[in-house]
Amino acid sequence: MATPTTSASEPQERGASLSHRIYDQIREGIIRGHYPQGSRLAEQRLAQELDVSRVPLREAVPLLAVDGFVRTLPRRGAVVTTWTIDMAHELFDLRLCMEVGAARFAARQVGLGTSVAPLRVILDRSRDGVSTGDAYRIATDSTEFHEAVVALTGNSLMRSAMRSVTGRMMWLFYLTSDLNADDALDGHAELLRAIESGNERVAESVAYAHIERDRDESMRVLAAGPGLSLPHPAPPTIT
């Protein structure tokens, strides 16, 4: 976004319309596992927990639904999405469509004179982030790198379309950040070089390989232990 100064833990608390702020807040809560998968998000409880009225929530929750973080049932409200192996596969297939194309367009832009400096900046920041060991920070940085690749294409529509994807990506990154932190860093560096070369076919291929490698690692984690992100000792899991 236009606010690259966001720190990982505290998102922009500026004038960005309360609805957007609590959107970010809830999203972070979901990703961090504070709102466990499958749990219900009761509006009143959320409202007094975040100290806002219910109306801003009414704007934020549908957006969370669009981005796949919750599912709204007719009269039951919103429940946090539960990850499945199939969902993860679908995500990687979609990434295959979008990011491979984005890498190609990005390489083309580089060939036309666009600088890859933004990628370097984020990659450097990612290195710092990995050393901190903060999973949320790592997931944020990793996601931002991919967003930066898309941004490099100069296609603002593609950027906004990616937003529906990057949210889920970040969530999955967080869930699997234990393993692929360093690998992802190398992969990003490799992708950066490929895009920098300006060779569309190379960028395309590297992006493809990178995503498939991601898929393999994520699948290994997901298949191993689906007991993910449950900091609370698994409250009764209200159906």
Contact footprint for DNA (CB under 7 A)? 1-2, 4, 17-19, 40-45, 52-56, 58, 72, 74-78, 239
CB nearer to a second copy: give 2 or 157. 157
* Sheet order of strands, 70-73 included: 40-41, 77-80, 70-73
Q: Which of 42, 161, 179, 234 binds a second copy (CB under 8 A)?
A: 161
73 phi and psi, to 5 degrees? -95, 155
Can you tell me the distance from the alpha carbon of 177 to that of 154, in angstroms, rounded to the nearest whole number? Answer: 29
**Counts for the chain of helices (H) and strands (E), in that order:** 9, 3
**How many other CB atoms are there within 10 angstroms of residue 213's CB atom?**
15
CB nearer to a second copy: give 131 or 156. 156
CA distances from 158 to 58, 90, 103, 106, 161 (A): 27, 19, 12, 11, 5
CB of 157 to DNA, least distance (A): 23
Residue 239 binds which one of DNA, a second copy, none, with CB within 5 to 8 A depending on kind?
DNA
CB of 108 to a second copy, least distance (A): 10
Q: Which of 22, 78, 80, 100 binds a second copy (CB under 8 A)?
A: 100
CB of 175 to DNA, least distance (A): 25
Residue that the structure tokens 């960005």 belong to: 16
Instruction: Indicate whether 96 belongs to the interface with a second copy (CB under 8 A).
Output: yes
Where helices occur in 153-199 by DSSP H, the ranges are: 156-175, 177-197
Instruction: Indicate whether 93 belongs to the interface with a second copy (CB under 8 A).
Output: yes
Can you tell me the distance from the alpha carbon of 226 to that of 10, in angstroms, rounded to the nearest whole number? Answer: 28
Token readout for 159 is 């950027």
Site residue total, a second copy (CB under 8 A): 33
Q: Which of 18, 50, 121, 158 binds a second copy (CB under 8 A)?
A: 158
Can you tell me the distance from the alpha carbon of 146 to that of 96, in angstroms, rounded to the nearest whole number? Answer: 12
Q: Is-contact 169 146, C-beta < 8 A?
A: yes
Q: Which of 157, 225, 233, 239 binds a second copy (CB under 8 A)?
A: 157
Q: Which stretch binds a second copy (CB under 8 A): 43-51, 55-63, 121-129, 132-140?
A: 55-63
Token readout for 112 is 């036309």
3 contact partners, CB below 8 Å, separation of at least 6: 12
Site map (CB under 8 A) of a second copy, residues 185-224, x = contact? ----------------------------------------
CB of 128 to a second copy, least distance (A): 31
Residues that bind a second copy (CB under 8 A): 15, 17, 19, 55, 58-59, 62-63, 66, 68, 74, 87, 90-91, 93-94, 96-98, 100-102, 105, 153, 155-158, 160-161, 164-165, 168
